[in-house]
Structure 1
Amino acid sequence: MRRKAGPGRACIALVFCGAVAALTGVARAADAGNVPGADAGHRGGTLRLVASASAGTLDPQINYSAQYIDLFANVYDGLTGFRKSLGDSGNDVVADLAEALPVPRDGGRTWVFTLRRGVRFSDGREVTVADVAASMRRLFRIGSPTAGAFYSAIVGADLCMKAPERCMLEGGVVTDAERNTVTFHLTAPDNEFLQKLAFTHASILPAGTPDHDIGNTPVAGTGPYRIVSYDPNGGMRLERNPWFRLWSGDAQPDGYADRIEYTFGIPDESAVTAVENGQYDWMYDQLPLDRLGELGARFTSQTHVSPHPVAYFAPMNVNIPPFSNEKARQAVNYAMGRKAMVIFYGGSALARPLCDMIPSAIQGHVELCPYSAGADFGHPAARWQAPDLERAKALVRESGTAGQKVTVIVSNGSVDLAMGNYMRDTLEEIGYRASVRALSPGIMFPYIQNSANHVQISLKSWAADYPSPSNFLDALLGCENFHPGSDSSVNMPGFCDRAVQAVMDRAKSDVSLSAEQTLELWREADARVMRLSPIAPVIEMNVVSLTSRRLGNFFYTNVYGLLFSKVWVQ
């Protein structure tokens, strides 16, 4: 008999909320004293990172895990990048491998970049415009998860999507070696083109990089660090890139540590103890709930609470039972115990219920909640109040799916597993025969993306690639992002609604709209999505980080999380 997460467990969890609330205030105050500048005396040493598991391929144009994307920000560069600074300025796009941000021409359809001269890859070769063109073609040839979502407006991309192996982007990416320029021609304006070029998947790699997933073999980059060894079962080692020369402190600052050693295979509970004891300097995994009180009481100066555009959601496969039925999906949204999920994450100091697919850290968010007790789409609640289990049960009966088997796929971390068990119990309560299957984080994400695995429902956290509603709507639910049978199909529900897509496409491409009009389109797309319910939003969170006593200049950005190049070790 399974033990349900009832009131007793909730009360136990709430014991830690007071400590976490105090921890939040103290940690933020402590972080405010961390200045981004540091003298040369902080240069050197080894930064030691730890995680319960590795995160898959080293290919920067394929890997879509936050664990490695944040790491790759210190290894690779694109034509543009996000300013590596604290606060809201970290949302700004700046020139990186390009000399300057271009002014769009032809009504936003033409972008001309001049490449910086003298920048070299970690193998000593100078970066050329041919490398830029090859890297953009490679996105399509290898089936990058964002090739369609982010770069499909480039002329020739439609042919590349149909026949990736023959992708040339002819007429779409034009190079001039003499002028050292790369010109992008788009089929339609893209209001977020500079942000998309700043994302890690658009990293510029050597032109000879194979047109397939490089797997465990590092490829040369241009950042201050290079990956020198990788064992997915043991760890990763990074050292200084001997060819790195600072060209823009905003786009790619130099690193303080001489080496970065990343150890895999240490469970989250053990990792907390190891960081407390100084064996490691930072842990990637979520902090277990039962350790938060201890951290708030004894390790406040080492525990940091950072706002971040990140959320948990439950994608439901719209193409297989039971969630091929719209009412079944709506039932999950009505039944979702969002307050319980907040408690599992660590309490109200760290998380808040989320009713829509645009978190409050992103412009376009609305507080109205139709999936709450006493509410519906005609009369949404001002904010989420409680689950409506009776309505959920009725919808399950009306859908004709009652009694069907449902398996919830989750990551095997303690917090995700607790949430998954709660989801299982909720699904059983509204009429299903439910179970949980826990997978390691490195396996779980590609597994739930591949439609061949017939995943019915899962639980996943998602951080913005860049601060825009498109990252939570078009990226996760755009028609172009569903690739049947692929581990790189970020549209996990397999959802494609042409009316929703039309609204999102206009928000992305109509340059005549004001900023507020564009946000209104995203809100409209969000409302349409929530009615169709391919996804159940769960919670939005702050990020809690634990560091060792010897780590200084804790540097957390809106886009990259903890920026490893900017912290130092003593």
Structure 2
Amino acid sequence: MKKLLLAASAAALLAGAWLAPAQAEYLKEHRGGTIRLLARSAAGTLDPHINYTDQGWQMYQPVYDGLVTFRKAEGKDGFSVVADLAEALPVVSNDGKTFTFKLRKGIKFSNGQELGLKDVVASFQRIFKVSGPTSGTFYAGIVGADKCLADTKSCTLEGGIVADEAAGTITLNLVKPDAEILYKLALPHAVILPADTPTEDMGSKPIPSTGPYMISAFDPNKGMTVSRNPNFKQWSEEAQPDGYPDVVQYDFGLSEEAAVTAIQNGEADWMFDALPSDRLGELGSKSMDQLHISPLSAWWYASLNTRMAPFDNEKARQAVAFAVDRNTLVKLFGGKVLASPVCQVLPPDFPGHEDYCPFTKDPGAKWSAPDLDKAKQLVEDSGTKGQKVTIIVEDTAISRSIGVYLQSVLTSIGYVADVKPISSNLQFTYIQNTNNKVQMSVTQWYKDYPAASDFLNILFSCASYREGSDASINISGFCDKDIDAKMQKALDLGVTDQKAADKLWAEVDRQVTDKAAAVGLFTPKRLDFVSKRIGNFKFNPQFNWIVTQSWVQ
């Protein structure tokens, strides 16, 4: 998942161990008030079947629901899947290819419509009709998905999604077993929307929801208001707990500097964007009790377009991978407490990860130093020296600084480089669309769920590349049939032997890394800075801070 990360230097945190705040019980006296959030820009479309950003997904959690969801909990419990709009986890049959859910009764959308089976069927069809960014990967194994991918507008998923009104059940049929299907169904791309929701990107128009909150106002240039859903009645505390604040007000447009000051002054409660480096010492010494640092399964990388010069040449791509000083990037991001240098795709301590770094001064398990001589020689050998390269970055302080650094790297090895910052709410879709002819970009990927396929298959499979689409998550345009086949083998193997599958994913990780379609930069941790008003801060490993489980009174 594309995540617009909150990050900062943690030099001030090095002095002592981090202690998590104590857990607090749900207390009715804390109900009410407004939590005030800040971001430099909106996260793009409001449409949950299309939006693929951390900023969007975090705010969808108290708004939308799927048949299942990730438990709203801290720690490892937050990775477990629980029943949501379904009464229970599905009955599995047909050798792992059929999943039968019984839909809860009495749930209403925020517009007053009652939830029904027709909404479930229409929502699964809509995933394909709007060409959702994961329709060709996460949901391609549903019976009938092949026809939907070939002709999105006439999608029916016949035989794949079957409603039984008499029994109150919805049955999902797969072409073959999928060990990760419940994870995929627990993501925002599979939430249930009203059946009459238009089958096009809804952009800035809020869609009715089932959760305790609804999006009541949105202006992509100003902000978003999330207020209580008057039709909500809690059905499952672990899946969709009632929240504390009456309103979450999310304002856009303030710089990072201004946002920090607003939080310090009690004018705001949290900022999404990276904390500016010149405020870190001050925050570390004066506001330690307002800082929360959390581990992440994530990857910052520079995507290289394998279908455009100069990076349609593998040697040119490898040259960039050798030239980048990842220690410099770690410092730009915030230091060793908040980031670690990497060469490969899969992050440390993640399924399928085995330390590997071919693009370093001394190739081996870990990155040690750049090799500029090797990089310059590869540029010479590729015949691409002197070519122009434009790097597209988000218009945030950290992304701009990374872009400027990479510009200097490209210049030093023989290219003519420049940097083009684009607003954060536009950059991610811009770099995906092949019509924009992006040669190189800086972006991030954060796990959708804990499986190697969520990095490798999503970002580098042939199916994830779509010409002319804003939802072409294979930004590098990389397509290797042999690697694709090995990824499919690993997916199939995961149904019966996950350990063996993870070993195969490690091979895929090495092969994709060798091709240098993307240059790994570093893996981050997350630093949240909240106001003194915020109580009951809870961090979910799947979707980050659970905003509406905090209180402000």
TM-score by length of 2: 0.97
**8 Å contact 2:346–2:455 — kept in the other structure?**
yes
Letter in structure 2 aligned against 1:226: M
Letter in structure 1 aligned against 2:304: M
Letter in structure 2 aligned against 1:437: K
Q: Is 1:437 equivalent to 2:402 in the alignment?
A: no
Task: Spell out, residue by residue over 1:40-80, the C-alpha distance to the aligned partner (whole angstroms, 9 max, x if none).
Answer: 01110001000011112111101111111110111001111
Q: How far off is 1:104 after superposition?
A: 2.5
Query: Pick from 45, 52, 74: which aligns with 1:64?
Result: 52
Letter in structure 2 aligned against 1:102: P
For 1:523 and 1:513, the matched residues in 2 are separated by 17
Any gaps of 5 or more consecutive residues in structure 2? 1-7
Paired position in structure 2 for 1:401: 384
Paired position in structure 1 for 2:214: 226
Paired position in structure 2 for 1:121: 109
**8 Å contact 1:61–1:203 — kept in the other structure?**
yes
Query: Pick from 531, 542, 549: which aligns with 1:559?
Result: 542
Query: Pick from 23, 28, 34: which aligns with 1:34?
Result: 23
For 1:432 and 1:320, the matched residues in 2 are separated by 15
Q: Is 1:486 equivalent to 2:503 in the alignment?
A: no
For 2:15 and 2:155, the matched residues in 1 are separated by 55
Q: Is 1:185 equivalent to 2:187 in the alignment?
A: no
Paired position in structure 2 for 1:20: 13
Query: Pick from 230, 242, 249: which aligns with 1:261?
Result: 249
**8 Å contact 2:304–2:440 — kept in the other structure?**
yes
**8 Å contact 1:464–1:472 — kept in the other structure?**
yes
SS of corresponding position for 2:227: strand
For 1:536 and 1:553, the matched residues in 2 are separated by 38
Letter in structure 2 aligned against 1:53: S
Query: Pick from 204, 214, 217: which aligns with 2:202?
Result: 214
Paired position in structure 2 for 1:246: 234
**8 Å contact 1:253–1:565 — kept in the other structure?**
no
**8 Å contact 1:83–1:92 — kept in the other structure?**
yes
Letter in structure 2 aligned against 1:48: R
Q: Is 1:304 equivalent to 2:292 in the alignment?
A: yes
Query: Pick from 505, 511, 522: which aligns with 1:522?
Result: 505
SS of corresponding position for 2:126: helix
**8 Å contact 1:111–1:185 — kept in the other structure?**
yes
For 1:394 and 1:513, the matched residues in 2 are separated by 46
For 2:201 and 2:505, the matched residues in 1 are separated by 34
Task: Spell out, residue by residue over 1:97-118, the C-alpha distance to the aligned partner (whole angstroms, 9 max, x if none).
Answer: 1111124222221111111111
For 1:403 and 1:447, the matched residues in 2 are separated by 26
The runs of 4+ residues in structure 1 deviating greater than 4 Å are none
**8 Å contact 1:289–1:415 — kept in the other structure?**
no
For 2:382 and 2:181, the matched residues in 1 are separated by 42
**Mapping for residues 145-164 of structure 1, pairs under 5 Å:** 145-164=133-152
For 2:546 and 2:376, the matched residues in 1 are separated by 46
SS of corresponding position for 2:138: helix
Instruction: Give the superposed CA RMSD.
Output: 1.3
Task: Spell out, residue by residue over 1:26-52, the C-alpha distance to the aligned partner (whole angstroms, 9 max, x if none).
Answer: xx41x24133x2210111000100001
**8 Å contact 2:179–2:495 — kept in the other structure?**
no
**Mapping for residues 11-410 of structure 1, pairs under 5 Å:** 18-22=11-15, 25=17, 28-29=18-19, 31-35=20-24, 37-375=25-363, 380=364, 382-410=365-393
**Mapping for residues 449-460 of structure 1, pairs under 5 Å:** 449-460=432-443
Any gaps of 5 or more consecutive residues in structure 1? 1-13
Q: How many residues align?
A: 546
Q: How far off is 1:337 after superposition?
A: 1.2
**Mapping for residues 503-518 of structure 1, pairs under 5 Å:** 503-510=486-493, 513-518=496-501
Task: Spell out, residue by residue over 1:437-463, the C-alpha distance to the aligned partner (whole angstroms, 9 max, x if none).
Answer: 111100111110001101001111221
Task: Spell out, residue by residue over 1:205-239, the C-alpha distance to the aligned partner (whole angstroms, 9 max, x if none).
Answer: 00000011111111111111001110111111111
**8 Å contact 2:494–2:501 — kept in the other structure?**
no
Letter in structure 2 aligned against 1:305: I
For 1:309 and 1:386, the matched residues in 2 are separated by 23
For 1:265 and 1:221, the matched residues in 2 are separated by 26
